[in-house]
């Protein structure tokens, strides 16, 4: 069976090395086929030595390569995953955000057909993808970086973040496909009961979910401790997050 890639990226201080280490551990438990696990990072200190840590690549675009302040926000550095070449990587690649929790088998993410597969953003109707989880082939979308660079700043004038940029750009080429509904869910939207019910019932894992995305607040350690991050949402200590986020 072909060896596949699982890729993540860590920059700045928002997430510590434990996020990388636990993501790697979750992938090992839930991916049966042979894989390489690579972390692109500006600081590999504390990352387990069996994880392949590489510098966030230079892509020939000064705004990224010199780390201009705007490139650190809203996930923009994730676009460096489309560099060609990307070190010695080849073939099918599953990109995973650091703030996810894997709760079931993920081999299906490599079997699902499509050129660029991504989560369909849960609260938008315009086709925007959520890039917490996406699959592509190394080198297939270098043109997205070229378009960004050659048209900057106009190339990002109508988007708020990298996921709007990449799904709109590839969407115009007819290359965007979405994961089946329910594979990837939002902790705060799909696991935590709505409104006052969050005070009466604990968060649960929806049937069929494979990956839980912890975008915004809370993060996995917050959910484990019972800290919601928002005054209007109660999240009691959630043992199943600790069970899986390890």
- Asked if the model's pLDDT at residue 116 lies above 90, the reply is yes
195: confidence class by pLDDT, cuts 50, 70, 90: confident
- Asked if the model's pLDDT at residue 233 lies above 90, the reply is no
Query: What is the pLDDT, as a whole number, of residue 135?
Result: 98
- Asked if the model's pLDDT at residue 125 lies above 90, the reply is no
Residue with tokens 């489309």: 82
User: Are 56 and 162 in a shared domain?
Assistant: yes
Q: What is the pLDDT of residues 34-57, one digit of tens each?
A: 999 999 999 999 999 999 999 999
Sign of CA dihedral 124, 136, 103, 36: negative
User: Are 172 and 225 in a shared domain?
Assistant: no
User: Are 135 and 211 in a shared domain?
Assistant: no
Query: What is the pLDDT, as a whole number, of residue 73?
Result: 87
Q: What is the percentage of the chain residues whose pLDDT exceeds 70?
A: 100
18: confidence class by pLDDT, cuts 50, 70, 90: very high
Question: DSSP per residue over 27-71, as a string?
Answer: HHHH--S-EEEEEEES--TTS-TTSEEEEPPP-S-HHHHTT-GGG
Cα 110–chain centre separation: 15
What's the structural domain count of the chain? 2
User: Are 173 and 210 in a shared domain?
Assistant: no
User: Are 165 and 189 in a shared domain?
Assistant: no
Show the CA angle centred on residue 211, arms to residues 95 and 90, nearest 5°.
20
CB 38 within 8 A of CB 54: yes
User: Are 41 and 10 in a shared domain?
Assistant: yes
CB 135 within 8 A of CB 95: yes
Query: What is the pLDDT, as a whole number, of residue 177?
Result: 98
Q: Which of 178, 204, 226 is the last residue of a domain?
A: 178
User: Are 78 and 8 in a shared domain?
Assistant: yes
Q: Which of 163, 178, 193 is the last residue of a domain?
A: 178
- What residues contact 37, with CB distance under 8 A and at least 6 apart? 5, 6, 8, 24, 27, 51, 52
Query: What is the pLDDT, as a whole number, of residue 171?
Result: 97
User: Are 203 and 125 in a shared domain?
Assistant: no
> How confident is the prediction for the chain on average, in pLDDT?
95
If you average pLDDT over residues 142-147, what whole number do you get? Answer: 97
| H-helix or E-strand spanning residue 169 | helix 162-172
Give the domain range for residue 206. Answer: 184-244
Q: Which of 128, 146, 178 is the last residue of a domain?
A: 178
- Asked if the model's pLDDT at residue 8 lies above 90, the reply is yes
Q: What is the pLDDT of residues 60-80, one digit of tens each?
A: 999 999 999 999 889 999 999
Rg from Cα positions in the chain: 18
Looking up residue 31, the CATH number of its domain turns out to be: 3.90.550.10
User: Are 108 and 56 in a shared domain?
Assistant: yes
Most confident of 93-102, 123-132, 199-208: 93-102
Distance CA 177, CA 170 (A): 10
């Amino acid at each position: 069976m072909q060896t596949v890639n699982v890729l993540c990226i860590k920059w700045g201080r928002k997430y510590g090395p434990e996020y990388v280490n636990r993501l790697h551990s979750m992938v090992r438990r839930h991916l049966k086929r042979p894989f390489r696990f690579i972390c692109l990072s500006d600081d590999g200190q504390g990352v387990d030595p069996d994880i392949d840590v590489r510098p966030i690549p230079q892509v020939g675009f000064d705004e990224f390569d010199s780390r201009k302040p705007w490139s650190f926000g809203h996930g923009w550095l994730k676009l460096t995953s489309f560099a060609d070449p990307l070190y010695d990587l080849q073939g099918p690649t599953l990109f995973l955000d650091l703030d996810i929790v894997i709760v079931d088998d993920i081999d299906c993410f490599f079997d699902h057909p499509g050129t660029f597969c991504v989560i369909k953003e849960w609260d938008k109707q315009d086709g925007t993808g959520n890039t917490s989880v996406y699959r592509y082939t190394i080198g297939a979308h270098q043109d997205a970086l070229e378009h960004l660079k050659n048209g900057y700043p106009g190339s990002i004038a109508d988007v708020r973040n990298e996921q709007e940029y990449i799904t709109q750009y590839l969407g115009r080429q007819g290359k965007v496909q979405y994961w089946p509904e329910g594979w990837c869910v939002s902790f705060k939207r799909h696991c935590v009961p709505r409104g006052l019910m969050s005070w009466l019932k604990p968060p649960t894992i929806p049937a069929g979910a494979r990956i839980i995305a912890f975008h915004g607040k809370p993060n996995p350690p917050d959910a484990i401790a019972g800290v919601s991050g928002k005054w209007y949402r109660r999240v009691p200590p959630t043992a199943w997050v600790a069970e899986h986020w390890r």
